[in-house]
Amino acid sequence: MSPAPVIIAIDGRSGAGKTTLAVELAARLRTHHKVSLFHLEDIYPGWDGLAAGVERYVSTVLTPLSRGEAAAWTSWDWERHYDGAARVTLPAEIVIVEGVGAAAEAARRMLDAVVWAESPDDVRRTRALDRDGATYEPYWDRWAAQEEEWLGSDDVPGHADLRVQNLADGSAPADLLQLLPYLPALAPVLAPELSARRGLRLHAERLDAAPDAPALFQSLYGRSANAVWLDSSNAGTGPGGGDPAQRTAAERSRFSIMADDGGTFGQRVTHRGGVSRISAGSSTAKVPGPFFRWLDTVWGRRAVRTPEGYPGEFTLGWLGCLGYELKRETGGSDVSAATPDAALIFAGRAVVLDHAEGTAWLLALEAPDSEEWLAQARAAVEAAEDPTAEAGGSTGVVHPEPPTFRSRDTGAGYREKIAAAQHQIAQGNTYEVCLTTTLEARIQAGSLDPWTTYLALRRRNPAPFASYLRLGTLAVASTSPERFLKIGSDGGMRAEPIKGTRRRAADPQEDGRLRADLAASLKDRAENIMIVDLLRNDLSHFAAPGSVTVSRLCAIESYATVHQMVSTIDARLLPGAPRAEAVAACFPAGSMTGAPKISTMAILDQLEAGPRGIYSGAIGYFSLNAASDLAVAIRTLVINEAGDGTVELALGVGGAITSDSRPDDEYEEIRTKAYGVLSTLGSGFPDG
């Protein structure tokens, strides 16, 4: 008897390519493991024997193997149509069983992973007959009817941990092997495969070029289904000079990052309601469990060295967005949203623009396709330097009819909620409530182009944490000025909450008065300081004792459409602390909840009566050198295809409510915050 093996079942209809997939997967796993392989076609008792074959397989093969014992079983002689020779399948560290019914209900309790392979019906038939010849053709319909009957009562695809679109192009085994280690049951035995990911080699190439960023992104990623541009769109636009606050803002705008999920290492993950779905090429894995627990398995340990001379912190990795409803994992309640709770891509290659040096960096993990991509990227950078390259777009979006937004709350309703929040403050249940509402518009698909909309937004309202995300049917166009959390590769942590807003004015004297009014406002300072205190506590959970400091308190920064009050809290990560958990300890941003965080989130659930979605979450990256930089998802237009020929536009806005808040002023503040996005679309704030 041997230790119980890890058993992987590869199931699917006839002709889905299960046998080839199993053989090739076994060959790859044998690099580090002893692997045993069993084919169900050897045990089915004839062309009408699917159900009986599954029963034989479970009792005589799977049951002993799952105990670490050798399996003695009787084969089927397909020429004589009778029982054949007695055979033995020995246990091994990993056992792969493949065939129709390999993951049947009676088998699943003994399996560690279920893979469902699928192909189009015409491809399956052709593939099966090419493999088995004319002997199978007369029985195809009989066998297919058995499969249909079996699957009608046993939803094997629905129970699969991984699903593979097996196109027989040779990509499926590699794609599958990328995802198998994500399954908790397989992670321990596949430790060598996980370790190989931490031995990646990073190529970094510096180009003395300052390409037009929109033209470069469109050239490289205009056709990508999943692409991310973390765009410091206000680089070079701020006054800088001797103003320390503006110099700090300029430092946040040094780098822009653009990437997609293409190439050898490309992956994507979408998390909803406690389940992460990770895709690599043709394969998709379903991993139940908290998102931040999954994130800890893929990020937080240095997998690459930062290249010599490279000034940035991003060294490839995961990029995308986290939705506010991930609060279910950090002390908040469970609320469902129309958008994913998290959506990220893994970039094995990217372009980083250094706006301070006027250079472009090409980053790529060494892979068979990296040289080809590097050549394409060099050419794209060179072409985007051409003054005739595509410009960044206008500051407005022309539509036949501007979208008409509706608000979750009328003006009177929002003011009533402000009063309700103040009642909670008076009762001692909270000190500050960051009350939000959502503006929504439903439009016909194709009537608004997310890309040109983002270009107009970035020109009208440049911001250090602007970003454009295209993630399947979801697009996010953000002009956020606020950093949520930065964790450096060296363990330095920084949060920079914004609390306090005034509009910009065209008249310089009026603009200066508004800025001075914000700087002198006791109410805004109180809001800001309460959030600073909250974030000091959030950071302290994983910070080295004594390392939490406030380096800036209530500084004023000016952007294209608003003045903002910003503070900076720094800390140093405790050596060995889990970085994903450090992010979770601060999520969602305190500037978007109020204080104390957990009790105030419960109050907000009652007051807001609906999900926030991407708004109030975070946008940014988790790098392979263990660094992360995340912005708060504010000033953000979310464009979500509904699947019925329409698109839902969503814009979240809100403000901090304290005991001395004036409802009319607070309502005017959310109108001010919405103005930059709404005016770009040609839309107005909903009446009422």
Report the alpha-carbon distance of residue 255 to residue 252 in Å, rounded. Answer: 8
Q: In the annotation, is 499 catalytic?
A: yes
Pair 430, 594: CB distance under 8 Å: yes
Residue 665, class by beta-carbon neighbours within 10 Å (0-12 exposed, 13-18 middle, 19+ buried)?
exposed
* Three-state SS at 78: coil
Q: Angle of helix 663-681 relative to helix 411-426, nearest 10 degrees?
A: 140
Q: Spell out the SS3 assignment of 509-546.
A: HHHHHHHHHHHHCHHHHHHHHHHHHHHHHHHHCCECCC
- Dihedral of CA 515/516/521/524: which sign? positive
Catalytic residue among 118, 325, 329, 482: 482
Catalytic residue among 18, 327, 486, 499: 499
Pair 336, 605: CB distance under 8 Å: no
Please state, as a whole number, how many other Cβ atoms lie within 10 Å of the Cβ of residue 152. Answer: 8
Pair 484, 566: CB distance under 8 Å: no
Q: In the annotation, is 432 catalytic?
A: no
Instruction: Please measure the distance between the N-terminal and C-terminal CA atoms of the chain and give it in whole angstroms.
Output: 75
- The strand pair at 465-471 and 94-98 is best described as unpaired
423: CB partners within 8 A, 6+ apart: none
Amino acid at 663: P
> Whose structure tokens read 């593979």?
164
Report the alpha-carbon distance of residue 526 to residue 661 in Å, rounded. Answer: 11
Q: Angle of helix 291-298 relative to helix 579-586, nearest 10 degrees?
A: 150
Report the alpha-carbon distance of residue 419 to residue 412 in Å, rounded. Answer: 11
Angle of CA points 159, 45, 141, to nearest 5°: 70
Active site residues: 482, 499
